[in-house]
Each structure stands twice: as structure tokens, then as C-alpha cells.
Amino acid sequence: MERLHYITHTVPRYTLFDQIDTVLKAGVKWIQFRQKDKTDRAFEEEAKVAQQLVKAHQGTFIVNDRVMIAKAIDADGVHIGKEDMPPVMARKILGPAKIIGCTANSFDDIYALRDQPIDYIGLGPFRFTSTKQNLSPILGLNGYIDILQRMKAWEITIPLIAIGGIQQTDIPTLLLEGIYGIALSSAIIQNDRPTVACHAILNEINSALL
């Protein structure tokens, strides 16, 4: 599984397709297609276009929330929130080979997911982010460390992807503490030079893993 996940979101300057094309060309290999304010039909049509962009770069294409669309277009997987379809049902629909990620905002959430048929957990928010409505309580670095320690005590080994307002300077510490990977959006696409930002973030991740 890739260490850097890019999540699309609506911004004035770039379409979702522009975002995806930019980050793929900069070396990002994991795209989560997130588009909240669309009908299923419109979402599916846009997801198909985005999927082709990702395929052209041999990347991984994850659909946010909409399990049936992920199934219909044969996406690589799905990321489901706490209020979405249960992971067991998503696994039954998608089959054993597809990727399933789930959202968690606390250790209790992770504990509830410990025996679920999932591949990773998106844990957050690390800090405030404007890309997420109805934001859960901020965890911060201390919150992540506490959760990682409690996971170790319970022998829960599901990879954690940190999400929520993460900046390049946060990456080394998060990876050093045991976070598997980073999910970003604003830190890249709201940067004046998103391609440069991608390169810098990927270099930061690679350096931290040496």
C-alpha cells in the first residue's frame, strides 16, 4: 500500500481531473476520489474519467463512500466513513481482492474495527481542516501517540493513515511514531506550486522511511 494518499476535493482553481492529473504526474500513486455533492449517476461518470487517468499512471484508484459505484466500475477499492456501509457488507459486495479503508476518530473506533475485513484505517483529524464538514475532535500528535500505544497493547496491527490538516513538516514525526502513511489534499492542491509540493512531500516520506 502506498504511503501517500491524495484525496480530491472541490477547489476554485482546479477541477478534480486537473488535481488528479497534476499529482499523478508529480509521482503520487494513490488517489481517493471524493466528490460529495453529486448524484450517483454524475459521480459514476466522473469517477470513470478519473479512473482512466489513474490507470494511465499505474496508480491505485479508491472510491470514497459509494461502494456500489466502486463495484460497478471495478475500482481498486473503497474508503467508507463511520456512517456508511458496514465493512463486512462492503467486503461481501467487492470481494476479497479489493481494498477497503475505514475512517476512525478515536481508539474506540479502531477497537470496533479490529476484526473487520479491512486493509487500513484513516485516522483523524490531526488538526483542523476546512476540507471536511462536521469535523470530529482534533487528535493532535499526542492523541496519535496515545492511540498507537493502545493499539500495541491490544495487538491491533491495522495500518493507520493520518489525515486532517497535515503539513509536510508533520510527516517525519508521524512516521517515526508508527503511522503507516499520510492522506493529504490541501497541503498539495492549495499550494502555489502543487507539483513542487508533491515532490517535497514524497521526498519527506522516503527520507523518513530510510
- Residue 133 pLDDT exceeds 70: no
In CATH terms, is domain 4-209 a member of 3.20.20.70?
Answer: yes
CB–CB of 11/189 below 8 Å?
Answer: yes
As given in the structure block, the three cell numbers for residue 14 are: 482546479
Q: How far apart are CA 65 and CA 69, in angstroms?
A: 9
Q: 9-17, long-range: CB within 8 Å, 24+ apart, which pairs?
A: 9/34, 9/131, 9/185, 9/186, 9/189, 10/35, 10/37, 11/189, 11/190, 13/189, 14/189, 16/46, 16/50, 17/46, 17/49, 17/50, 17/53
Q: Given this model, what pLDDT does residue 171 score?
A: 96
Q: Given this model, what pLDDT does residue 197 score?
A: 97
Alpha helices (H) along the chain: 16-25, 40-56, 67-73, 87-94, 107-113, 140-153, 171-177, 186-189, 194-209
Task: Indicate the pTM of the whole model.
Answer: 0.95
Q: Given this model, what pLDDT does residue 18 score?
A: 96
Question: Which sign, positive or negative, has the C-alpha torsion 170, 15, 94, 108?
Answer: positive
- Identify the CA nearest to 129 among candidates 206, 81, 70, 185: 185
Q: How far apart are CA 96 and CA 85, in angstroms?
A: 16
Q: How far apart are CA 133 and CA 37, in angstroms?
A: 12
Mean pLDDT of 15-29: 97
Q: How far is CA 81 from the centre of its chain?
A: 11
Q: Give the pLDDT confidence of 88-105 residue by residue, as tens digits.
A: 999 999 999 999 999 999
Q: Taking all residues of the chain, what is their mean pLDDT, rounded to a whole number?
A: 95
The residue to which cell 463495484 is assigned: 71
Under the banding of pLDDT at 50, 70 and 90, the label for residue 134 is low
